[in-house]
Amino acid sequence: MLTGLDAERPDWAVEGRDWPHREASRFVEAAGLRWHVQEFGSPDAPTLLLLHGTGAATHSWRGLAPLLARDFFVIAPDLPGHGFTDPLPDADLSLPGMARAVAGLVAALGRPPALAAGHSAGAAVLARMCLDGAIAPRLLAAFNGALAPLPGAANLLFPSMARLLFLNPFTPRIFAWTADRSAAKRLIEGTGSRLDPEGVDLYRRLFARAGHVRGALGMMANWDLAGLHRALPGLATRTLLIVGGDDKAILPDTAFSLRDRLPDARVRLIRGLGHLAHEEAPERVAEVLRAEASDAGVLSPP
């Protein structure tokens, strides 16, 4: 039974009452957690695993998933502690711990991905899973991927600050109490993206729940992106780095530096879009991903 902040999580009967693509949702027991998972497309198609970023949930794919379902069987879970998925124990909130949990879900679903794609921190989870041999997709795609530590002093200060906020039980509640629509809009626009009113409202619903806020802070506080960055030269998986040219959260130049560290990587810059490029212009992102999947042999050429 959940207690404290974990009991203040989004409620499927309340926040989920009109959740995008609710008909595609189901709940799955795996790796000791109850996961919210959405599935799209034909089971006979190649499997695509989609992982959202910190602070988001499956709503992040509301525009992109149906487009990709034309060619793939799309599996999109809420990450632990986010949306409607149970939180991990604090001891397992590291990047490897998150990767192990998602690997447990993939094993339970019995659908190893031919293509794995993640936004921001979701891309880091997938990269860690590939490095650990938990999945072996033919293509790994990162949408504005968080695959490198923050530059300069921010690399030390930001995780430390997140950990202080995470350990303070009042912080998530204070954030939730002040999470109105204007606050959500400011946060989103601070990343260089602009979403329609429905997109902003979906984030507001999540931010208004202290348990979801705690899940996001837990990810930021316990991850070692420097360790992942050091390991990336060992990532043999073909990698596509899709970058929004106006991203203010992860500077676009980061992707070009990452490309030079990876054995088999290419960058696709989409101008005029921010950190949530896949939500702003899902058609453009789907087109780029579909073309690369064809080149990688995941899809048959059109």
Cα gap 205→11, rounded to integer Å = 10
- Is residue 214 a part of any domain in this protein? no
| Interatomic CA distance for residues 14 and 220, integer angstroms | 27
Residue 17 lies in a domain: no
Report the candidate in 120, 113, 107 with the shortest Cα–Cα distance to residue 30: 107
Query: How many distinct structural domains can be found in the chain?
Result: 1
- Gyration radius from the chain CA atoms: 18
Which residues form the domain of 46? 22-152+225-296
Burial 144-166 (b: 16+ CB within 10 A, else e): bbbbbbbeeeeeeeebeebeebb
Q: In sequence order, what are the residues at sequence separation of 6 or more whose Cβ sits closer than 8 angstroms to the Cβ of residue 186?
A: none
Token output for 284: 């453009």
Residue 46 lies in a domain: yes
3-state SS assignment for residue 266: strand
89-126 pLDDT, tens digit per residue, is 988 989 999 999 999 999 999 999 999 999 999 999 99
- The answer as to whether 35 is a domain residue is yes
CB 5 within 8 A of CB 210: yes
**How is residue 257 written in tokens?**
């530096």
Q: Which residues contact residue 170 at a Cβ distance below 8 angstroms, ignoring those fewer than 6 apart?
A: none
pLDDT at 160: 47
State the alpha helices, DSSP H only, in the chain. 64-68, 95-109, 121-131, 154-167, 170-177, 181-189, 197-207, 210-222, 225-231, 253-261, 277-280, 282-295
pLDDT value, residue 92: 92
Q: What does the pLDDT read at residue 172?
A: 56
- pTM equals 0.92
CATH number at residue 266: 3.40.50.1820
Q: Which residues contact 61 (CB under 8 A, 6 or more apart)?
A: 38, 50, 52, 74, 76, 278
Assigned domain for 137 exists: yes
Has residue 212 been placed in a domain?
Answer: no
In this prediction, residue 153 carries a pLDDT of 36
Asked, for residue 234, whether it belongs to a domain, the answer is: yes
In a domain, 148, yes or no: yes
* Positions in the chain short of pLDDT 70: 1-7, 150-179, 301-302
* Residue 165: predicted pLDDT: 45
